[in-house]
Amino acid sequence: MTLTRRDVENIAHLARLRISEAELPAYANNLSRILGFVEQLAAADTAGVVPMAHPLEGEVQRLRADVVTETDRHERYQQNAPAVEAGLYLVPKVIE
């Protein structure tokens, strides 16, 4: 798999990463090599093999009781926030 600069731009946008023009060729090269490397998986015979999403087979989801355990701590949590006003997190204006 050889990725073009354009491919890298598309992936970077999907992942919301700014990659500079100067960096694009190196990313294209490295990502192509990584994808080339993992393509050896194609040779494995996996016909009928159940995909393994989780290392603990047979374990099932636990259910929590429907109980409110949290209190209002937004002031503490928002100490980490870059921009807050009136308890709201701020982002540049979004037009839907």
Partner 1 sequence: MKLHELSVAALGRGLREREFSSVEVTRAFLDRIAARNPALNAFITVTAGRALADAAAADARLARGEGRPLTGVPLAHKDIFCTDGILTTCGSRILGNFVAPYDATVVERLDAAGMVLLGKTNMDEFAMGSSNETSGYGPVRNPWDPGRVPGGSSGGSAAAVAAGLAPVATGTDTGGSIRQPAALTGLTGLKPTYGRVSRYGMIAFASSLDQGGVLAQSAVDAALVLAAMAGPDARDSTCIERPVPDYVAGLERPMRGLRIGIIREFFGPGLEPGTGAAVQAALGGFRTLGAELVEVSLPNLPLSVPTYYVVAPAEASSNLSRFDGVRFGHRCADPQDLRDLYERSRGEGFGAEVKRRIMTGTYVLSAGYYDAYYLKAQQVRSLINADFRRAFAAVDVLMGPTSPTPAFPLGAKVDDPITMYLNDIYTIGANLAGLPAISVPCGLVEGLPVGLQVIGPHFAEELLLAVAHAWQRETDWHQRRPPEPAGGTA
Partner 2 sequence: MSGGWETVIGLEIHAQLATRAKIFSGAATAFGAPPNAQACLVDLGYPGVLPVLNGEAVRMAVRFGLAIGARIAPRSVFARKNYFYPDLPKGYQISQYELPIVSGGAVTIVLEDGSRKRIGVTRAHLEEDAGKSLHEGLGEWTGIDLNRAGTPLLEIVSEPELRSAREAIAYMKKIHTLVRYLGICDGNMQEGSFRCDANVSVRPVGASEFGTRCEIKNLNSFRFVDKAIQYEVGRQIELIEGGGRVVQETRLYDSDRGVTRPMRTKEEANDYRYFPDPDLLPLVLEPAFVESVRATLPELPDDKAARFVADHGLSEYDAGVLTASRELADYYEAVVAALGGEPKLAANWVMGDLAGLLNRDGLEISGAPVTAAGLAGLLGRIVDGTISGKIAKEVLEAMWSEGQGADAVIEARGLRQITDSTALEAVIAAVLAANPGQLAGYRAGKDKLFGFFVGQVMKATGGKANPAQVNELLKRLLAGP
Residue in this structure with the two tokens 């999907």, named with its chain if needed: 14
Q: From partner 2, partner 1, none, which one binds at residue 38 (CB under 5 to 8 Å depending on kind)?
A: partner 1
Q: From partner 2, partner 1, none, which one binds at residue 44 (CB under 5 to 8 Å depending on kind)?
A: partner 1
> What is the residue type of 43?
A
CB-side exposure of 28: number of CA atoms within 13 Å? 15
Contact residues for partner 1 (CB under 8 A)? 8, 11-19, 27, 30-31, 33-35, 37-42, 44, 46, 49-57, 59, 61-62, 64, 73, 76-77, 79-83, 89, 91-94
Give least dist CB 93 to partner 2, A.
5
Q: From partner 2, partner 1, none, which one binds at residue 19 (CB under 5 to 8 Å depending on kind)?
A: partner 1
CA quadruple 20, 25, 26, 31: dihedral positive or negative?
positive
- Cα–Cα distances (Å) from 8 to 2, 27, 88, in that order, read 10, 7, 34
